[in-house]
Structure 1
């Protein structure tokens, strides 16, 4: 599977220049900008920065025909077609990094921070851009760092990383600007999408002491801007986020269910919120849990439910049994098995609300990434409640 890419070019001030002839790139994922930048260079000799998705023509991610707005880094030496105006107008929900000049401003901030730290960057490479983040790699003689910029609904990630600065299984935050830009130290290894049961259990074991320690810091985390989804607050937030969607059936009885969860005796703590293997990097020696933008203060079972999502019954049972044993050892008298059973449909409801929040907070051209997620999660919530 590949992408056929069309780039609409603008200059650094946002003035339209024209449209490049389409070219193919081998990486199908629409948010992957590195392959698009390399493809424009190889096919047309043009240096660009990808700003944002304009349209997926007759398809949904991944693959297919995709068009982007891109900022040209200099003169363009190939003939351009006239620019179609649609998609170039300002939008109030557009991320700063999706505007002309936005990436340059963020890179200037990041390289300035690296200079201050004595780690000057000699090469920068755009890796990804979409509605949830823009990511750049910055290499220099003193190693690699990463610029990550996120929208408003993820800005608490920096506060979480500051709180976790002494935790061995989390990334190192080098700097942040309080407005969505973060400079992160390099994490060796690769994303562990294909992790087997043993590796998932090792991740859960790494995560457990972090959550136990974070129990004492919940009020501090909430004060720093981390979403408070404890008990009744989770029900209120879920209902609010899903109000534009047809979710009344799945929401029925939510408060009573959460009251019973509270009686199971597990403490509220810091929850990663998206603890699947792709958000773990490993090099064979250690694992690091990355991407804390979905984090919140709430019930710890949400993380093990995400980590076991879509697994067959046997490995799921083994992972849950180990997770429950850890919590019974840490909190004698608690009933983790009952809490997990009660929260199964709630976990899918929460994910539906997360995707609904994305849809409400991003401009229309980017919503294609999440268009099917809310109804899919609501259907799974209904199935788990049966």
Structure 2
């Protein structure tokens, strides 16, 4: 098998444990046999501090994914999403929710490979907003699946934990963050008062996390997800769109996304909510970097610190 460790060649993960590797590959082999999938080439392995992915070559490629313990909810969440909103996510061939393992089909080309323009970004964000709106009644079910709780009321507590636990913040930066806390509480109160309901926040939505077939967008890779303010998903998406098409495109794309949420709210209110959510979503980004495999956890601390400091 070819193994890609990316920018983290020294990160220790379960892939380095022969017993774990044997157990995982036996599960994969058994599921492939159950499905009658015949392999046509060597397997390729992608090892990162937050997940392990094995690409199985077949008539249509198949993907095994093992999430870190902090993201183990992803397997069960993906299975639930495929029942609740089947047109918007991949339907897994198999999941082991207890171990955070999934076996997933291919779902069309990755959106990034098609070089999407602003019009395609509008369409994708509109469909994503519709997907989030459909999940509003599922909030409690998602929490029971173990999806992290990053609802607005919980953000000050998440902030406190992130600042206290980070080992790379120096005294000056820690003091600046602690001084920010009263303002952060005010932002949370203002955002909550707008009244947009909680939903699923992907927390890392960009053109490499979307598949597209015939104008229909499929969203995948839920390891960073949380239950929280839906507009927090705009942070990464807007940054990526601006990187590709310039900062002037962001307002246009944001308005296309927000239009889905206008029932009972003015666009002006929603724009302010989006501004607040983008800032506060740095907390969920920090949280994502805390969900690495335990032996690789120290890799996440500098990234968590950087996200926290972007709150300032």
Distance 2:120 2:253 in 1: 10
TM-score (norm 2): 0.83
Distance 1:319 1:344 in 2: 14
Q: Deviations over 1:323-372 (max 9, x none)?
A: 2222104x4568311211222321223323332x146x5325x744x454
Q: Does 1:146 align with 2:78?
A: no
- Which residue number corresponds to residue 168 of structure 1? 87
Structure 1 contact 144–186 (Cα < 8 Å) conserved: yes
Q: Does 1:184 align with 2:124?
A: no
Q: 1:228 aligns with which of 149, 152, 162?
A: 149
Structure 1 contact 175–184 (Cα < 8 Å) conserved: yes
Q: 2:74 aligns with which of 134, 138, 157?
A: 157
**Deviation (angstroms), 1:104:** 2.9
Q: Deviations over 1:122-164 (max 9, x none)?
A: 54512300211111112335x3211001111111112221221
Q: Deviations over 1:232-290 (max 9, x none)?
A: 22321232133133232443422222121111121111111111222112356433211
Distance 2:182 2:16 in 1: 39
Distance 2:190 2:10 in 1: 48
Distance 2:189 2:9 in 1: 48
- Cα distance 1:259–1:341, how it changes in 2: closer, same or farther (>3 A)? same
Structure 1 contact 261–342 (Cα < 8 Å) conserved: yes
Q: 2:48 aligns with which of 105, 130, 135?
A: 130
TM-score (norm 1): 0.69
Which has the larger share of strand? 1
- Which residue number corresponds to residue 200 of structure 2? 270
- Which residue number corresponds to residue 345 of structure 1? 279
Unaligned runs of 5+ in 1: 1-33, 38-48, 54-60, 70-93
Mapping for residues 200-239 of structure 1, pairs under 5 Å? 200-239=121-160
SS in 2 for 1:282: strand
Unaligned runs of 5+ in 2: 167-173
Q: What is the root-mean-square deviation of aligned Cα atoms in Å?
A: 2.7
Q: How many residues align?
A: 294
Q: Deviations over 1:26-48 (max 9, x none)?
A: xxxxxxxx7xx3xxxxxxxxxxx
Distance 2:163 2:201 in 1: 21
**Deviation (angstroms), 1:314:** 1.4
- Which residue number corresponds to residue 379 of structure 1? 309
SS in 2 for 1:363: helix
- Cα distance 1:198–1:333, how it changes in 2: closer, same or farther (>3 A)? closer
Structure number with the bigger relative contact order (C-alpha 8 A, sep ≥ 6) is 2
Structure showing greater Rg: 1
Mapping for residues 11-90 of structure 1, pairs under 5 Å? 37=2, 62=7
Q: Does 1:255 align with 2:185?
A: yes
Name segments (4+ residues, structure 1) moved above 6 Å.
none
- Which residue number corresponds to residue 82 of structure 1? none
